[in-house]
Amino acid sequence: MQIFSCPFCGPRPEPEFHFGGELGNHRPAPDCSPEAWAQYLHFRTNPRGAAEEIWLHIPCGELFKMHRDTVTMTALPGRALGDQP
Amino acid sequence: MTRHYSALSLLKEGLAGQKGWAKAWESPEPKPRYDMVIVGGGGHGLATAYYLAKQHGITDVAVVEKGWLGGGNTGRNTTVVRSNYFFPESVRLYDMALKLYEGLSRELNYNIMLSQRGMISLAHTPAEMEMAARVVNAMQINGTDAELFGPEDVKRVLPIYNFGPKARYPALGGVWQGRSGTARHDAVAWGYARAAARLGVHILQQCEVTDFLIEGGRCRGVVTASGAIRADKVGLAVAGHSSQMAAKAGFRLPVTSYALQACVSEPVKPILDTVVLSPGAGTYASQSDKGEMVVGGGLDRIPSYGQRGNLPVLETVLSGLVEMFPAFRQLNLMRQWAGIVDVVPDSSPILGESPLPGLFLNCGWGTGGFKSIPAGGVLLAHLMATGQHHDISRPFDLDRFTTGRLIDEAAGSGIAH
Amino acid sequence: MTARRLPEGGEVDRSRPLSFTFDGRPVQGFHGDTLASALLASGERVLGRSFKYRRPRGIWGAGTEEPNVYADATDGPRFHPNLRVTLEPARDGLDLRSANSSPSARADRLGFLDLFARFLPSAFYYKTFFWPNWHVYEPAIRRMAGLGRIKPSSAPLPDGDQRNHHCDTVVVGAGPVGIAAALGLSRSGESVVLVDDGSRIGGSLLFRSARIDGMPGANWLAAAEADLRQLGVTVLTRTTAFGIYDHGLIALNQRRDDGPDRLWRVRPRRIVLAAGAVERPLPFAANDLPGVMSAEAALGYLRRQAVLPGLRIVVATNNSSTDEVAAAMTAAGAEVTVVDARQGRRVARALGRRMVTGVVLEDGTRIPCDCVLVSGGFTATVHLHAQAKGRLRWDDARLSFVPEAPVAGLVTVGAAAGHFALAEALAALPETLGLPDVPVADSAPYDITPLWPRPGQPGRVWIDLQHDVTAKDVELAARENMVSVEHLKRYTTLGMATDQGKTSNLAGMALMGALTGRSIPEVGTTTYRPPFAPVPYTSLAGPRGGSRMNPVRRLACEARHREIGASLGDYGGWLRPAHYGSDDSAILAEAKLARAAVGLFDASPLGKIEVIGPDAAAFLDFIHYNTVSTLKPGQCRYGFILAESGVVYDDGVLVRLDDHRFVVSCSSAHVAGVHGLLEEWRQDRFPAARIAIHDATAETATLTVSGPKARATLAAAGIDADLSDTAFPHMTTRWHGSGEAALRLTRVSFTGDRSYEVSVRQDLAPPLWDRLAAAARAEGGGPIGIEALMILRAEKGFIVIGKDTDGMTRPMDLGVSGPMKAKKVDFLGRRSLFTDEAQRADRNQLVGLLPADGFGPLPVGAHGIDLSGTTPRSIGYITSSHPGAALDHPVALGLIERGAERHGQEITLHHLGQRRRATLCPPCFLDPKGERLHA
């Protein structure tokens, strides 16, 4: 059971959270190339180790940013989407 | 030296104190150059090397493995083999694998203990029964064996299932595939390794690939801890770590790595005679020949490269299992582990030449890597030897993510991945 | 039969005798016995059979490491396979059967297998059974394998208990070092949980003599127990710390006398691992014979349960720990011979067939005996450290892997850290734990000389007792190049038995190292995986079964439905009336009733997500496939939400209550998903926008009245709004009443008939149901279940997402391509509608299907097939099929290749080996002009 820290609710157990994707996967312009659209839709960096991610805290409904290590599973406290890094 | 395996050679060696057996494979020094190099000494990599040698006569091949062969997902799965898929593309792929499995013990002269005990994918509601019928019909049309089971059939193959009035997951029936079953996972890796080595393939263990040799926009080999190894073509079969290798080659993949967990109980005398999957309870199980209950469930919910189990998933899976089989409350958990799998948006594998010419991909198998090993080997070998797709691998090319022509089994059939 | 109970001494209470049976024979014991000590005292030596060769086996150890003796236990109505006799207290009335034998361990039918052992080395099964195939041999091998048996007919075991706990420190192991650590940390103000898998705390103090702080060990222990109580330390005995998981979670399994096992999930700030060490066997031929046992365990049985394991005892050792064992056995009256490798004396082989009768030393000396107590040194119990990803270091003086350095949140002390002498272990505490004041002990230093299995050693030298892995098997693995430690394990199955190699792994690695010219650390260790010792499924499953598993959601009107005999079923996670009455022939009758007069349907699970705020319209324009902002207040519009992949994610009616307030209705199974999607895009793409999103599904009940008498029913139920078509046209919404009891009336139809959705605060729904039900009956109609609704909507060609669509369906496949072509602003999934795949001409499209072969309704799940090629090819499938209610023929919906352009064509269907014929048609079978909406 991992413990993640929602920036609004504090530390909570892992079943309350939902992985929202890699940070920085921006939606391209509507007229982008098929390749650019495919990169946005499907292709991922999938880092081993340090990762910047978007997570959803299900009970409060807020998305937030979180720095996590995908090998050791250490996770820094989440930051609100609007917060600067 | 006794090289051939048989009852007779076992008897002969028994009288001689088992002292005459040859090495299953050698541990040669790496050469500076091979015709072809396969990165990853799991089932898919070893099978690729074997079929390159066997079917294409290309024997100047090295399999480069960072740890010990068969030590990744090949040695960490729940050993189920099946081809109960929905789309014709998938059935052709997985049935090719199952058919090869059916002849593999003799072909490799290595008993992989293929145990076709049948598999029931249960349906618990009328809506799931309708979906089961859709899947059974698809399988029959696509040329593999399938039956739609009703409640009496389930009672016959799973007499100890929870048929009580308060069962959360009543068994209305399900998809039955009689040719499904299990195979001994280590034996598959070792059998391919031994057979490939006999044909001249070099198996290089403890040899981590740290980079690719890229010249003129083509992949010309690999860089390892013990030096560069040049090759005309390089195959990549490193499930769970495909993204890392792709990054070294300069591209990204539609892959996210997740842990997939499994566990075994203490061994007991035979009590479960088939492979059983309940999408509702989120659990599947089979009993090994040794007697252990081999149990798995869905993927973890948190992307991960940590090859270890955790409690939340274990608790969910086992609570589902004892709900299905109340007698299993008597069992004890003996060992728990996890493998790291490549999860692809459509849960189908990626086979084909990569964006870096000369580098060929075999990845993205998700939870279905073990059952497809022979096909993954044949198809990657075909790609590398001919430079062309096999008809069966063509739909699984990386280009499908750009065209949008995904092969999404979860969407089509409701089979839980 | 020379082991026996001494007349006095030990912890056992001779005034409280008990008895149980083993393989049908009575066994006497006392309160304070374990099953193992009572069995040992009974003098019976052969208590188990090995896994592969069915060799006779006796008790080896005294704890979780026991490799040999397991029993299936009948305990009243309950049944437990594979019980570890070394861990379980003896209890009156238990009926034990040795686990891997038939009919008894003493006389096992398969005992002859050992005669063929030379032909059955490790991994022999990979080398044979090719002809005709494995399936011929497998059943017999399956029957021979396995350990105990499950008994399905016994009473179900009760739910396990589960508990979460937080504290400063968990101390694993309550030997003297663990106790000292717990005391010290508790005195410094920490909350401490002290865990031990034994029935009492004290560890070695329970059977070894010691002097701590100048007093005898037993006295120190008694004082410590009092101090622990006074300090409020939580002491959990019979509790095994079996796993360390991410973020410092430690999992404990507590075996309780008064109930099922309990799983503790404890999250301490720090874990102190004081788990001790496990004694290793010595490598000599026939070292598996009954009567050969762990010297440390034997000392425990002698001092704790007053069981003397033999009268003529050989103590075979390579270390100083046995000095006390030999002395104690002598003092208890046994004749003891010490064979100490430190003095150059080593046992070459044990003699005896069913139990040990003597030993032969390497110098040829023959010593008759009835018991051999062996110590090959100790292996530090580092499992939890290694599970926590701590690294290990080989200690060449102590001959054990020990933790290299503490890992975050976990520190190892005592014998688990390689401090096998008590004085040394306690002396290390101040530095490792930062404790100022720790007890001081006097003890002899630990002294050991290597004695590993050697290549070419004569005879059968067992490495893994349970799995029958001998030194020759390790040599075979080396010969065949299975030299990596993981290959060694998997090829020979060394360490894969239920004891997980606690006594055997190191000897196997040492031998493999010797065979391949590597040191033990060069060979390395296998991965340490949880659980440390087997854990009951019930503990891990906890109280989650039956109705508590994925619990269904309940309707506010459930009691009303039950009163009128509803058959309830799980629909998308909600418990809903399928139909009323137990007979499913009611389904069609209900549908016909709704067509002829009026049907009342509980539609409460329908998703109702409110999107509120000045920017809501622009936001929903992005979310929805259809344009939303052009909707006027009070109006409704049917439409889709797409996933970014362009696939139809959900459908529903969007209601605009006023300029700034919308209700997104969605499929009942998709509420959480749609809500999440809305929030995701609001926060990601519209972070500064003035929008609030609220899921009102749970708080709002919705009752739908549909049919030609719908309007009359509403009026008769006392809803006195102006329901005329001019005041309240189709696809509009309005409020009726005010305050808490206000009703929201929405005129939309999922049946094709005039319909009104009446939404109300959920606690007010039952009386509303009563009024509407009475009114509907008065109008000649009544309640209908979801199955009848499925007929009604199918006749009209209305789809159910996830049933009539699949994970590939784009809106154009459903005949809705307007927004893709005409919508001005970007929306979710738009780009994906222009991929090659989405534009493909041969896509599966929604069609209606009618039987063309004169038989009954078309089967759901049947596939259309194209027979023009060499093999049949699926061209889509039937997704819904129902008898007609208004119509006098059955109807079906399906997704069929190029279906939209093939109306009127016949196709062949495949269903479970049978063929059917069907005609394709438009998906709307009833009233395509929509006249019934206004009837």
* Facing residue for A43 by CB, picked from B241, B254, B306: B254
Quote the CA–CA distance of C256 and C261 in Å, as a whole number: 6
pLDDT of residue B416: 32
Residue B363 within any structural domain of the chain = yes
Q: Does B181 touch chain C (CB under 8 A)?
A: no
Give the total number of structural domains in chain A.
1
Residue A7 within any structural domain of the chain = yes
Cβ-based contacts of B306 with chain A (< 8 Å): 70-73
Q: Does A51 touch chain B (CB under 8 A)?
A: yes
Interchain contact, C831 vs A56, CB within 8 Å: no
Quote the CA–CA distance of B62 and C744 in Å, as a whole number: 72
pLDDT of residue B412: 58
Domain termination residue (choose one: C527, C547, C577) = C527
Count of A–C CB contacts within 8 Å?
A: 48
Q: Does A74 touch chain B (CB under 8 A)?
A: no
Cβ-based contacts of B244 with chain A (< 8 Å): 48
* Facing residue for B254 by CB, picked from A44, A49, A72: A44
Residues B208 and B96 in one domain: yes
Interface test with C, best of B333, B340, B344 (most C CBs within 10 A): B333
Interchain contact, A1 vs C245, CB within 8 Å: yes
Give the total number of structural domains in chain B.
2
Cβ-based contacts of A4 with chain B (< 8 Å): none
Domain termination residue (choose one: B306, B327, B343) = B343
Residues B367 and B275 in one domain: no
Residue C24 within any structural domain of the chain = yes
Give the total number of structural domains in chain C.
6
Nearest Cα residue to C85 out of C531, C498, C461, C506: C498
The dihedral over CA atoms of B236, B237, B242, B245, expressed in degrees to the nearest 10, equals: -40
Q: Which two tokens stand for residue C928?
A: 């395509």
> What H or E segment, with its residue span, contains residue B123?
strand B119-123
Q: Does A58 touch chain B (CB under 8 A)?
A: no
What chains are in contact with C, requiring at least 3 Cβ pairs below 8 Å? A, B
Q: What is the CATH number of the domain that holds C621?
A: 3.30.70.1400
Contact between residue C392 and residue C405 where contact means Cβ atoms under 8 Å apart: no
Burial class (CB in 10 A: 0-12, 13-18, 19+), C612: middle
Q: Does A62 touch chain C (CB under 8 A)?
A: yes
Interface test with C, best of B141, B179, B300 (most C CBs within 10 A): B141
Residue C584 within any structural domain of the chain = yes
Interchain contact, A30 vs C830, CB within 8 Å: yes
* Facing residue for C247 by CB, picked from A56, A73, A81: A73
Residues B155 and B232 in one domain: no
DSSP-based helix, strand, coil % in chain B, nearest 5? 35, 25, 40
* Facing residue for A81 by CB, picked from C675, C687, C835: C687
Q: How far is A20 from chain B (nearest CA, A)?
A: 10
Cβ-based contacts of B143 with chain C (< 8 Å): 871
Interchain contact, B17 vs C118, CB within 8 Å: yes
Quote the CA–CA distance of C635 and B35 in Å, as a whole number: 70
Residue A85 within any structural domain of the chain = no
Quote the CA–CA distance of B150 and B132 in Å, as a whole number: 11
pLDDT of residue A85: 64
Residues C614 and C686 in one domain: yes
What chains are in contact with A, requiring at least 3 Cβ pairs below 8 Å? B, C
Helices marked H in B73-217: 88-108, 126-141, 151-157, 185-198
Residues C500 and C460 in one domain: yes
Indicate the SS3 state at residue B353. Answer: strand
User: How many Å separate Cα C147 from the centre of its chain?
Assistant: 22
Interface test with C, best of A17, A23, A27 (most C CBs within 10 A): A27
Cβ-based contacts of B291 with chain C (< 8 Å): 142, 145-147
Q: Please report where in the chains the tokens 């157990």 appear, as a residue.
A: A13
Q: Does B355 touch chain A (CB under 8 A)?
A: no
Interchain contact, C826 vs A30, CB within 8 Å: yes
Residues C268 and C192 in one domain: yes
Residues B166 and B274 in one domain: yes
Interchain contact, A37 vs C265, CB within 8 Å: no
Average pLDDT over residues B248-265: 97
Residues B196 and B338 in one domain: no
Count of A–B CB contacts within 8 Å?
A: 66
% of chain B exceeding 90 in pLDDT: 94
| Structural domain boundaries, residue C738 | 558-604+699-794
Residue B2 within any structural domain of the chain = no
Quote the CA–CA distance of A3 and C412 in Å, as a whole number: 24
| Structural domain boundaries, residue B131 | 119-179+257-343
Residues B292 and B402 in one domain: no
Confidence of residue B1 (pLDDT cuts 50, 70, 90): confident
Confidence of residue B413 (pLDDT cuts 50, 70, 90): very low
Q: Which two tokens stand for residue B115?
A: 């145990």
The gap between the terminal CA atoms of chain A, to the nearest Å, is: 27
Residues B198 and B305 in one domain: no
Residue C536 within any structural domain of the chain = no
* Facing residue for A44 by CB, picked from B256, B306, B310: B256
- State the number of CA atoms in the 13 A half-sphere of C457 facing the CB: 29
Cβ-based contacts of C243 with chain A (< 8 Å): none
**pLDDT tens by residue, B280-295:** 898 999 999 999 999 9
pLDDT of residue C935: 79
**pLDDT tens by residue, A3-59:** 999 999 999 999 999 999 999 999 999 899 999 999 999 999 999 999 999 999 999
C400 strand-pairing partners: C395
Residue C475 within any structural domain of the chain = yes
* Facing residue for C860 by CB, picked from B26, B133, B270: B133
Cβ-based contacts of C676 with chain A (< 8 Å): 18, 56, 58, 61
Quote the CA–CA distance of B275 and B296 in Å, as a whole number: 11
Q: How far is A21 from chain B (nearest CA, A)?
A: 9
Residue C60 within any structural domain of the chain = yes
Residues C771 and C867 in one domain: no
C676, closest residue in chain A (CA to CA): A61
Domain termination residue (choose one: C643, C664, C695) = C695
Q: Does C137 touch chain B (CB under 8 A)?
A: no
Residue B391 within any structural domain of the chain = yes
Quote the CA–CA distance of C192 and C231 in Å, as a whole number: 9
Q: Does C124 touch chain B (CB under 8 A)?
A: yes
Q: How far is C331 from chain B (nearest CA, A)?
A: 40
What chains are in contact with B, requiring at least 3 Cβ pairs below 8 Å? A, C
Residues B163 and B40 in one domain: no
Q: What is the CATH number of the domain that holds A20?
A: 3.30.2270.10
Interchain contact, B328 vs C537, CB within 8 Å: yes
Residue C622 within any structural domain of the chain = yes
Q: Is the pLDDT of residue B415 over 50?
A: no
In the stretch 219-258 of chain B, residues with CB closer than 8 A to chain C read none
Q: What is the CATH number of the domain that holds C517?
A: 1.10.10
Q: Does C476 touch chain B (CB under 8 A)?
A: yes
Residue C347 within any structural domain of the chain = no
Cα separations in angstroms, C573 against C82, C670, C704: 38, 10, 20
Residues B236 and B249 in one domain: yes
A30, closest residue in chain C (CA to CA): C831
pLDDT of residue B417: 29
% of chain B exceeding 70 in pLDDT: 98
A19, closest residue in chain B (CA to CA): B302
Q: Does B273 touch chain C (CB under 8 A)?
A: no
Residues of chain C that touch chain A, judged by Cβ-Cβ distance less than 8 Å: 245-247, 249, 265, 267, 389, 644-645, 675-676, 679-680, 683-685, 687, 693, 826, 830-832, 835-836
Q: Does A2 touch chain B (CB under 8 A)?
A: yes
Residue C640 within any structural domain of the chain = yes
Contacts 24+ apart (CB under 8 A), C322-329: C322/C295, C322/C373, C322/C375, C323/C444, C324/C208, C324/C209, C324/C299, C325/C295, C325/C296, C325/C298, C325/C299, C325/C373, C325/C375, C328/C299, C328/C302, C328/C303, C329/C298, C329/C302, C329/C373
Average pLDDT over residues B24-44: 97
- 10-residue mean pLDDT series, chain C (935 residues): 87 97 97 97 95 96 96 95 95 95 94 94 95 94 94 94 97 98 97 97 96 96 98 98 96 94 97 98 98 98 97 98 98 98 98 96 97 98 96 97 95 97 95 91 94 96 97 97 96 95 96 97 93 97 93 97 96 95 94 98 97 98 96 96 95 96 94 94 94 96 98 96 94 94 96 97 97 98 98 97 92 94 94 93 96 94 96 96 96 97 98 97 96 90
Strands in C607-612's sheet, in edge-to-edge order, are: C636-642, C648-658, C661-666, C607-612, C692-695
Confidence of residue B411 (pLDDT cuts 50, 70, 90): low
Q: Count the neighbouring beta carbons within 10 Å of the beta carbon of residue C763.
A: 11
| Structural domain boundaries, residue A21 | 3-80
* Facing residue for A44 by CB, picked from B252, B302, B311: B252
Domain termination residue (choose one: C695, C728, C754) = C695
Quote the CA–CA distance of C210 and C217 in Å, as a whole number: 5
Interchain contact, B402 vs A14, CB within 8 Å: no
Residues B146 and B104 in one domain: no
Handedness of CA B110, C526, B283, C252 (dihedral sign): positive
Q: Which two tokens stand for residue C9?
A: 């001494």
Backbone φ, ψ for residue C47 (5° rounding): -120, 0
Kindly give, in sequence order, each residue whose CB lies less than 8 Å from that of residue C853, ignoring residues fewer than 6 positions away: C916, C917, C918
Residues C189 and C272 in one domain: yes
Q: What is the CATH number of the domain that holds B295?
A: 3.30.9.10
Q: Which two tokens stand for residue C754?
A: 């005039």
Indicate the SS3 state at residue C675. Answer: helix
In the stretch 4-33 of chain B, residues with CB closer than 8 A to chain A read none
Quote the CA–CA distance of C240 and C250 in Å, as a whole number: 11
Residues B172 and B269 in one domain: yes
Residue B6 within any structural domain of the chain = no
Q: What is the CATH number of the domain that holds B190?
A: 3.50.50.60
Residues B316 and B400 in one domain: no
Interchain contact, C541 vs B319, CB within 8 Å: yes
* Facing residue for A30 by CB, picked from C265, C680, C831: C831
Interchain contact, B333 vs C536, CB within 8 Å: yes
Interchain contact, B304 vs A51, CB within 8 Å: no
